[in-house]
Amino acid sequence: MTDLVLYSTFEEISNEFSKSIALDSKLMEFIEPLPYIEEQINIIARSATSAGKLSFILGSPGTGKSTFLRSLSWKKHLGVAELVQVNANELTTDGINGLYEELAKQAHKAVSIRDKGPTCLIIDYLEYLDDFDPSDVKGFFRRLNGLLRNSPLLILWPVTGREDVDAMIDYSRAVSGTLFYRGYEVIEFTGPDIEKFKDIVSRTISVLNEGKDLAEFGLTFKDLEETHEALLKLPRNEATLREYIEIVKERWRTNNDYVAKLRSSIPKSTEVWFIFSYKDAERVISQFVRRADRVEDNWTAIHDKLADYIRDGQRSHVWSAARLQLALYGAIKTRIMFLPTNTLVSCVSSYTANTAIQGILANHNAPAEWNDKSKAKRTLGRSAVYKQLIGEVMAAGMRRGGPAAKALDVAEPSYSALVKWVSSSGQGSDKELNKCVALALAELGNYDARSDRQHPWIPDIIPDIFIDTPHKQICIEFNYTNKNEPYAIADYVLKKLNTYMNSLEKIAR
């Protein structure tokens, strides 16, 4: 049966077609027009021919914001000279000033072609400003205000959270009230009508697979109808086009018996996530993982990097290249990730009922606000772990300054004390920490996340946290350590994976 190509993110589609054919010509074939959004953008664009304007595009993840905004490049009725996508993640590594400098450069170019209309700038991968110092953010909006007064720019800034966009507007209004076209500060984006999802996916399959129809992939329109009915049973905020695409892909896999021989004995696909939370974890784990635009590939362990710690050692008797391949991408899928130190400490601080832990945190001056569950969940919601859980790609790039770096510094003493407590024989237990994170995950995403639970079908496996989702089961394994050498990561991952593989191999016999 033919392999199905069906992507659920704009980045995946963009990467696919930028290599061979014009991206826009393909997107034109399946993007659904959204007149109610285009009308609002048109109104703002007409007012931006002399002095520029800013508008936030507010919409939940998976609704199609990025794909739609790309489509503006060929919507001539909007009167836009050209569309430029600005990757803010690449520009803000050392602060928000880098973003301003890029906008200023684009403004200079926009002035030279203003007779064709305003230049439309899309600010990608910057959905909140909490990681930057408030004074820097105010300075950014102050300079942006001056820039827009004389530049024909239409800046569209996609965001996902109402609280985040409200905070951005507050910052901007503190320095000026002329950045926006009154009444259009925020454009609410809900995406295409949910009843059109079946037709959109059918067209998308044809376009992405060289004109092939559903039947060539073992699918029928009845499959699209049944998967659509399953989507409608989800809460409205979860019933997105991205989720529907994932459900359709799952139906295709089911119809075509898309499992390897070893996985034929596995009830549901399983992923194992190894999580590290010491201060420098993000940098150290980057040596072992693949960062990608596809959710399925992001944070996956790199075979050759782990294999370097196997060759010519005791582990070589346990790990063949083929067995490691099965452990990373076959029988299970392995990811290596980080949870920021302050995120872990705030989850523990706000959810623990353990008096010993409470005493440790009090003795190390953990901020009182970290006892607030809502703030802990908000921080957790921005982590790589949660982004991966909900199917979002967290853009690559480390932020080296601002409040995020300060929070890591503040949390480090508490984290080190917790590590010492966990490691002390007869005193602490990592189960207490796992329980806190599991509770936070369960409340934040309404997931069935539990700590200290026997895996339902893999014998002898009790992951630190077990999460059961409709499409897969996730085993989270925390390593509470301050050892920041690469070998420590490889050692922990390989030992744990060997335990998983031993159990899976028993099932497959």
Q: What is the pLDDT of residue 174?
A: 83
In a domain, 154, yes or no: yes
Residues 276, 380, single domain; the answer is: yes
My answer on whether 281 and 420 are in the same domain is: yes
Residue 55 lies in a domain: yes
Residue 59 belongs to some domain of the structure: yes
Same domain for 398 and 272 = yes
Residue 496 CA to residue 462 CA, distance in Å, equals 11
In a domain, residue 209? The reply is: yes
- The verdict on 276 and 215 lying in the same domain is no
Amino acid at 94: D
pLDDT of residue 398: 60
- State the pLDDT at residue 259: 38
Contact (CB, 8 A) for 346 and 373: no
3 state SS of 300:
strand
What is residue 212's predicted lDDT score, i.e. its pLDDT? 80
Structure-block tokens of residue 345: 């400490």
Render pLDDT for 248-275 as a digit per residue (tens, 0 to 9). 998 887 876 643 445 555 667 899 999 9
**CATH number assigned to the domain comprising residue 169:** 3.40.50.300
- Averaged pLDDT, 72-91: 89
Q: Is the pLDDT of residue 401 over 80?
A: no
Sole residue written with tokens 């949390």 = 411
Same domain, 215 and 321: no
Burial tier of 474 (Cβ tally within 10 Å: 0-12, 13-18, 19+): buried
Indicate if the pLDDT at residue 20 is higher than 60.
no
Phi, psi at 190, each rounded to 5°: -110, -5
Q: Is residue 14 part of a domain?
A: no
pLDDT in tens, 196-217: 999 999 999 988 888 887 877 7
Give Cα separations from 47 to 42, 54, 75, 154, 219 (angstroms): 9, 11, 17, 9, 48
Tell me: do 118 and 217 sit in the same domain.
no
Q: Same domain for 171 and 215?
A: no
CB 278 within 8 A of CB 415: yes
pTM of the model: 0.59
Quick one: CA torsion of 256, 259, 260, 266, rounded to 10 degrees?
Answer: -150
Q: Over 80: is that where the pLDDT of 410 sits?
A: yes
Domain containing residue 241: 194-261
Mean pLDDT of 98-105: 95
Whether 273 maps to a domain, the answer reads yes
Please tell me the number of Cα atoms within 13 Å of 336 on its side-chain side. Answer: 28
Residue 23 covered by a domain: no
Provide the pairing of β-strand 448-451 with 300-301: unpaired
Is there a single domain that holds both residue 320 and residue 419?
A: yes
How many domains is the chain partitioned into structurally? Answer: 3
How confident is the model over 85-104, as a mean pLDDT? 91
Please give the structure tokens belonging to residue 362. 């009090």
Asked if 204 and 148 sit in the same domain, the reply is no
The answer to whether position 1 is within a domain reads: no
Q: What mean pLDDT is reported for the chain?
A: 88
- Note the pLDDT tens digit of each residue in 330-371: 778 999 999 999 999 999 999 999 999 999 999 988 888 899
Q: Are residues 62 and 169 in the same domain?
A: yes
What is the torsion angle, in degrees rounded to the nearest 10, for the CA atoms of residue 129, residue 135, residue 137 and residue 143? Answer: 180
Last residue of a domain, one of 188, 217, 250: 188
Between CA 176 and CA 183 the distance in angstroms is 15
Which pLDDT band, with edges at 50, 70 and 90, does 505 fall under? confident
Q: Identify whether the C-beta of residue 312 lies closer than 8 Å to the C-beta of residue 303.
A: no
Single residue among 130, 156, 188 that ends a domain in this structure: 188
Q: Which has the minimum average pLDDT: 52-66, 166-180, 192-206?
A: 166-180
Residues 298 and 165 occupy one common structural domain: no
% residues pLDDT > 90 (the chain)? 58
Q: How far is CA 194 from CA 147, 188, 239, 250, 355, in A?
A: 39, 16, 8, 19, 49
Given a cut of 80, is residue 110 above it in pLDDT? yes
Residue where a domain terminates, one of 188, 204, 226: 188
Do 230 and 104 lie in a common domain? no
Rounded-to-integer distance, Cα 467 and Cα 472, Å: 9
